[in-house]
Amino acid sequence: MQNGKCFITEEPIDLTLHRQQLDIDHIIPLKLNGKDEQSNFALTFSSANRSKQASDLQLARILHRYEKIRKRLEAEDRSPNLNDLLVQAGGAKYSLAFVQENGRVRYSLAEVGDTTIVDVPYYTDKLSGMEYFFANLAIEYLFHDDIINPRTIGSNINKLTEEFYSGNPQLHVSLAWVDLTGASTSPVKIFDGQHKAAAQILLGVKAIPVRIFINPDRDKLILTNFKAGTTLRQVAFDKSVQRHLGNTLYQDRVVRYQHDYNLAPDDISFSERDLVSYFRGESREMKRYILDAVRDGVTHNPDNRLTEFIDFGGRGKEKPLSYSSIEKTFYSFFVHQDVLETPISYRLEEGKNPRDLEKQQITELMNLIADELFINKFDLELGTNQIENKLQKGEHIALEHLRAYRMSKEEIMYNWLKILQKVLYNFFITTGTMADENKLFQTEFPEQLWINLRNTIHNLSTLPIWVDTGMSATIFGGKQNNQYWEKIFATGSTPQGVRVLSEPINILTIAKE
């Protein structure tokens, strides 16, 4: 009945090789009125059955299919989005042909063999002025808009899938848009409600109801989505996603400025200050978009080796750093927090543009830290869960892993990055370099400074405190604040007078080999 495959994983079973690792279970649990008879029995791998995410084996199989997609994309260092599920299910193939006239929209799904002409009314939203209509579309005509909504599929997809599987309806349809300006066909791009769409696709649904906006103001949709995840807190946008949207809005404002001043697309002879002044009705937001573009440029730099160890969702137990911590430390300390007066094109061709230097050198510092602390040292499979408790119970934790874990704690990293910041500034002072303290990363670092920074990171990492397992129940037994570790680095002792370093950190000597 199962074609020789595990009911949950759909992987082949060898009754000889796997005979000690098999379970027989009810497909529909007895507590859900499943019958205790052969038609309701399934053969599964024991490991899959005992770690399944749903008691109903049909649902467990569906969730396992999603887990396969998630693990496959780990090799690309990313999580699934709606487009991945659409493509897996045979969707995201065709643009949809429309006719819009006399208050109605006509379309046909001829590419999938349904030549029926669907004729529906369209409406005008009284507040935004946007036109829209409702449709139940085959997934072949649906695409994911990763510009307006760059979010990946979150862990709550399992619960949402279970809700749909149980027959509980969701009260909001997904939102999409089409662009019919100068054309009669357009892909239908979903920009909101992707989790609802994803859950239905996982359950094998081949057509999804959507509310489709006709020729909308995309900038307004991006801004709406941005505000929904920031000021309005309507959706649970991770901060990294917010920065990505802010970067998109920044790029859009640059294009609008060029258009309004009849500038060529490659003409960026205006400054960040010019942009803020021109869009003065949203000057505060404009400043945030500019900084978001800088942060997003570092975060999504393909050469950034530290990102492998950053949990962008902020809720996992595998990676040592949260994106929130990165914002409170690296981006808070090293990104210049005000807009620049110099043209965006300033010294661009020389490779010494202030913002580009800033992003490049922050990325390089992150790479130094990744090399010294994390790569081939931090075990992602062991992760961060209950490390100090495991030590207290006598479990073995590799010292390199323990060091990386402890130095990743936000309150600790905050203080040793402050030390790096002081090493930076001290170098410029002692070499007589005129550098703005608030714009250190916009000044090109000489080779010796990079050597000093690497020495500092290495010397900090060799402090015995990070691998002292006896401190698991005391110094590292609970979460401390920034001031606690500032005191330790400055004096060698805790605020309670407990000596934990042989001597305070000396800025002049910590940077030496």
Q: What is the pLDDT along the chain (513 residues), one digit of tens a residue?
A: 888 999 988 889 988 888 888 889 888 888 777 888 888 898 989 888 877 767 788 888 888 888 888 888 877 778 899 999 999 999 999 999 988 888 899 999 999 999 999 999 999 988 888 999 999 999 999 999 988 888 788 777 888 888 888 887 766 789 999 988 766 889 999 998 888 999 999 999 999 999 999 999 888 888 777 766 555 444 445 667 778 778 888 998 999 999 999 999 899 999 999 999 999 888 888 999 999 999 999 998 989 999 999 998 766 788 999 999 999 999 999 999 999 999 999 999 888 999 999 999 999 999 999 999 999 999 998 999 999 999 999 999 999 999 999 999 999 999 999 999 999 999 999 998 888 888 999 999 999 999 999 999 999 999 999 999 999 988 998 888 999 999 999 999 999 999 999 999 999 899 998
Could you tell me which of 154, 190, 151, 150 has the C-alpha nearest to residue 172?
Answer: 190
Could you tell me which of 67, 71, 43, 36 has the C-alpha nearest to residue 53?
Answer: 67
pTM: 0.69
Please state the three-class secondary structure of 441-457 as a single string. Answer: HHCCCCHHHHHHHHHHH
What lies within 8 Å, CB to CB, of 256 at 6+ separation is none
- CA separation for the pair 142, 150 (Å, rounded): 16
